A and B are shown apart, each in its own frame.
Chain A
Amino acid sequence: MRSNIILALSLSIVGASAASALTLNVVATLPELADIASRIGGEHVKIDTLARGTEDIHQVVMRPSLVPKLNKADAVVYLGLTVEHTFLPGLLNVAANPEMREDAVKQCAGPGCIDCSEGVKVLEKPSTLSRSEGEIHPSGNPHYNLDPEEGLTIARNIAAGFSRLDSDHAADYRKNLKVYLAELEAKIVLWRKWAAPLKGVKAVSYHQDVPYLARFTGLEFVGTLEVKPGVAPTPSHLEKLVERMKQDKVALIVREKQFAPKLPGWMAEKTGAKVAVIGTMGKAFPGTDTFIKMSEHNLQALLGAVGKAP
C-alpha cells in the first residue's frame, strides 16, 4: 500500500514536471499581443504581459517585478519597430535570460524573440534620421497594431515563433492560427463595411500613431496636436492647427486615451470637430482586452464621433 502511494506520488511529480516542461512560458509586451498569443498557443503556453494597456505605449514603466517574468520566459512576443524602446531593452538587459538579449536595433536578440512586425507593410519610414524631426522611429511608424488587418500578420508571426520554439506542437499552433485567422478575417470584412462612412473624413490626432488606422478606415489625417512626434503641443502650433482645421473642414479629433482631454476639447470648441477617444493598446478601456475588441472599440469610437455608429 505504502509503495503504491509512493509510486503514485512519484508518477504525479514526474507527470507535473513533464507537463510544465511542455508549456511555453511566454511574455507578451502588450495586452493585445498576449490575447493573440493565447489564442494561437492554447493550452501549450502560459502568458504574462508587461504593459497594462492604460499607459502610453512609449512610456511603459520598467517595474522590477517584470524582470523575473522575462528571466523565466521561453519567448517574448513584441510589436517591434522600436515601439517598446522605453522598457523592453532595459528589462531584457537585467533579466539574464540567454534566450533573449537586449538589442539596440531590434530591441530583442536571441532565439526566444518573436518580433510581430516581420512582414508588416511599414508606413512612414523616415528618409532622414534627425531628432529635429522629434521622437521618430528609425524603422518606420510602429503603431501597426491599430490596423485590424495587421492582426493577421501578428498572428502568423506568433504561430511561426511558437512552432520554431516548440515544434512538437506545431500542428496545434497551425490549427489554432487557422481558426483565429478565419475569425479575424470575418471581422475585417464586417469592419470594412462599418468603416465605409469614414473614408475621406478629415481628422487630426494627438500623436502621430494613426497612419495604419487611416490606411484601414480611409480617414485623412491632416495634422497632429503634438508639434512633432513626442514634442508637446505649443500655443502657436495649436492656433495654426485650428486655422488649418477650419480651412480643411476637419470633422474629427482623435485623442488617444493616454493624453489628457483638455487640449482636444479646446480644439473641438474652436473648430466644431468631434472628439473620438481611442486606445493604442488592448485594455486601454474596460472590455478591450483582446485584439478584436480593441479594434472594434476604436472603430465604434470613430464612427460614433462622426455620427455614423454601426
Chain B
Amino acid sequence: MSRSLSYLLAASLIALPAPPALAQDAPAADTSSLLKDLQQRVLKLEGAPAKSSLNAFNPAIGMALDAAFRDSNDKAAFQFRAAELGLSAPVDPYLKAWVFITGSNGGVGVEEAVLETTALPHNLTARGGRLFASFGRLAHVHDHELPVVERPLSLDSSIGGETQADGLEVSWLAPTDLYLDATFGVYNKMGAENDRQDNLGARTLDEFTYLGRLNTYLDLTDTQNVELGVDAAWTPKRSVTEDIAVTGSANALTTRRNTWRTLSGLDFTYRHQPSGGGLYKGLVWGTEVMQNTERRFGPASRLPTDRVRAYSGYSYVELKTNRGWRGGLMADLTEDQDDPHRLTKTLTAFLTYDVTEFQRLRLTYAEGLVNVPGAVKNHTVAFQWTGLIGKHVHGFRDR
C-alpha cells in the first residue's frame, strides 16, 4: 500500500510542470543561504570548525614578549630581553611535550624541550630532555614570571640563571592527604650559565649532577598556608682542563681529588589568600637560602683552591591589593663563592600593574652594595613591559 502511494507521489511530481526559471532561482537562493546559515550554526554548536587537515594536530602556540628600559648608575638602555616561543601538545596517550625557544640579544636558543609521561603508575611522573630542574622556589621560573625584573643575584650566583638542565627527572606524589612531592633528577649540569660543566661530550657517572627535592604544603587556616621545600644538588666529581704552562701536567684534562660540589637549599613560602581574593589579592612571603660548598678553581691557573662554603639567599614580600596592582620588597644577600667574606646586599622595591591577564607593566628600583672598603652603591631602575600572545596556561609550578 505504502509502495503504491510512493509510486503515485513520484509520478505526480514528475508530471508537475516545471516552475518558471526566475521563480526557481529565488527559492534556490533562499535554500542555499538557509543551508549556509544552518551550517554556520551547526559549526558553532559543535565548537571549532571540523579540522580535516593534519594541521589539526599542531601544538598549542604561545609567546611571551619581554622588553625593558634599564638605567644603572646613570647609564641607560632599552633592552630586548626575550621573545619566548612556547609549543606544547600531547605526543600520544602516554606522553606530552613542550618546547620553549627563546630569542634575545644573546641569540636564539632552546630554553626547554621536555618530554613528560602522563600515564606512569604509582603516582610517578618522569620528564626528560632539556628542562628546568626542580630546584628551589624561584630558580626554575622563567625570567618574565619572576616577581622582580632582574633575577636575584643569589640565584644567578648559586645556580647560574634558570635551572636549565639536560637530563632526566622523576617525581613522586605521596598517596597521602598531605601534599608531599619528592623529585629525583640526574643531569649533565644544572644552570644555563653554570660553566663548571658543559652539555657537550661524555662523562663518567660521578661527573653528573644529582638532585633530590622534597616539597610539602600545609593549610594553616582557611586563608593562610605555608609551603616548604628542601633540596640538594650534588656533583661528585669535577674535571677541568688545566693550564699546562702553569701546572706542568702532562694531561691537560685532570680530575683533582675532593672536587665534589653540593648546592643545598631550603625554601619557605607563606601565603595569605583571602577567600574572596582569588589570584589577585593577598600577601606572599617567600624566602630561600642556599649553601654552596665546593673546591673552587683558580680562574687563571685552573688549579683547585681550598674548599669554600658560601651562602646566598633572598626574602621577599609581595602584597596584592587588587586585580591590577601588586608590589613589594626583596632583600638579597649573596656571598662571593670564591671569597665568602665578600657579601653583596641588594634591596629591590617592585611595583607591578597587570593591565590585563596578558599584559603587565613593572617598575623596580634596586640598590646594591658590596661590603668592601671604598665600594659605592649601585642604583638600578628598570621598567619592564611584558605581553603574552597565543596560548596561555596557569601552570601549577607558576602559581
Task: Please give the residue numbers on chain A whose beta carbons come within 8 Å of chain B beta carbons, in ascending order.
Answer: 52, 54-56, 58-65, 67-68, 71-72, 85-87, 89-91, 93-96, 98, 101, 104, 122, 125, 127, 131, 134-135, 138-139, 230-232, 257-258, 260
A96 touches B125 (CB 8 A): yes
A215 to B151: give the CA distance in the assembly, Å.
Answer: 50
A61 touches B273 (CB 8 A): yes
Which residues of chain B from 112 to 141 have any CB-CB distance to chain A below 8 Å in the complex?
A: 118-121, 123-125
Residues of the B chain whose Cβ atoms lie less than 8 Å from the Cβ of A101: 118
Number of A-B contacts (CB under 8 A): 101
**Known pairs A55-B276, A56-B278, A134-B356 / 4 extra A-B pairs, C-beta < 8 Å:** A59-B278, A65-B219, A71-B175, A90-B393
Contact (A71, B394) CB under 8 Å given A52-B275, A65-B225, A131-B358 = no
Nearest chain B residue, comparing its CB with the CB of A55: B278
Residues of the A chain whose Cβ atoms lie less than 8 Å from the Cβ of B217: 63-65
A85 touches B356 (CB 8 A): no
A232 to B222: give the CA distance in the assembly, Å.
Answer: 28
B173 touches A62 (CB 8 A): no
A231 touches B356 (CB 8 A): yes
Contact (A90, B396) CB under 8 Å given A63-B219, A131-B358 = yes
Q: Is B92 in contact with chain A by the CB < 8 A criterion?
A: no
- A interface footprint on B386-399 (CB within 8 Å = 1, 0 otherwise): 00010101111001
Q: Is B195 in contact with chain A by the CB < 8 A criterion?
A: no
Partner of B179, one of A65, A72, A127: A65
Q: B318 to chain A: closest CB distance in Å?
A: 14
A122 to B280: give the CA distance in the assembly, Å.
Answer: 29
Residues of the B chain whose Cβ atoms lie less than 8 Å from the Cβ of A94: 125, 173, 181, 396
Nearest chain A residue, comparing its CB with the CB of B116: A93
Residues of the B chain whose Cβ atoms lie less than 8 Å from the Cβ of A232: 323-324, 356
Q: Is B279 in contact with chain A by the CB < 8 A criterion?
A: yes
Residues of the B chain whose Cβ atoms lie less than 8 Å from the Cβ of A93: 395-396
Q: Is B60 in contact with chain A by the CB < 8 A criterion?
A: yes
Q: Can you list 25 pairs linking A and B with CB atoms under 8 Å apart?
A: A52-B222, A55-B275, A55-B278, A58-B278, A59-B278, A61-B279, A62-B396, A63-B217, A63-B273, A65-B179, A65-B225, A85-B394, A87-B394, A94-B181, A94-B396, A95-B173, A96-B123, A98-B118, A98-B119, A104-B60, A134-B356, A139-B47, A232-B324, A258-B278, A260-B322
Q: B279 to chain A: closest CB distance in Å?
A: 4
Q: A74 to chain B: closest CB distance in Å?
A: 14
If over half of A's interface residues share one DSSP class (helix, strand or loop), that class is named, otherwise mixed; here it is loop
A90 touches B278 (CB 8 A): no
Partner of B394, one of A68, A86, A231: A86
Which residues of chain B from 173 to 192 have any CB-CB distance to chain A below 8 Å in the complex?
A: 173, 175-179, 181
Number of interface residues of B (CB under 8 A): 46
Residues of the B chain whose Cβ atoms lie less than 8 Å from the Cβ of A62: 394, 396, 399
Q: Is B277 in contact with chain A by the CB < 8 A criterion?
A: yes
Q: Is B227 in contact with chain A by the CB < 8 A criterion?
A: yes
A58 to B125: give the CA distance in the assembly, Å.
Answer: 28
Residues of the B chain whose Cβ atoms lie less than 8 Å from the Cβ of A230: 356-357
A67 touches B173 (CB 8 A): yes
Which residues of chain B from 83 to 134 have any CB-CB distance to chain A below 8 Å in the complex?
A: 88, 118-121, 123-125
Q: A259 to chain B: closest CB distance in Å?
A: 9
A85 to B45: give the CA distance in the assembly, Å.
Answer: 21
Q: B45 to chain A: closest CB distance in Å?
A: 8
User: Which 8 pairs of residues, A with B, have the shortest CB-CB distance?
Assistant: A59-B278, A64-B217, A64-B179, A54-B275, A59-B279, A56-B278, A96-B123, A90-B396
Q: A68 to chain B: closest CB distance in Å?
A: 5
Partner of A68, one of B45, B118, B178, B323: B178
Residues of the A chain whose Cβ atoms lie less than 8 Å from the Cβ of B396: 62, 67, 90-91, 93-94
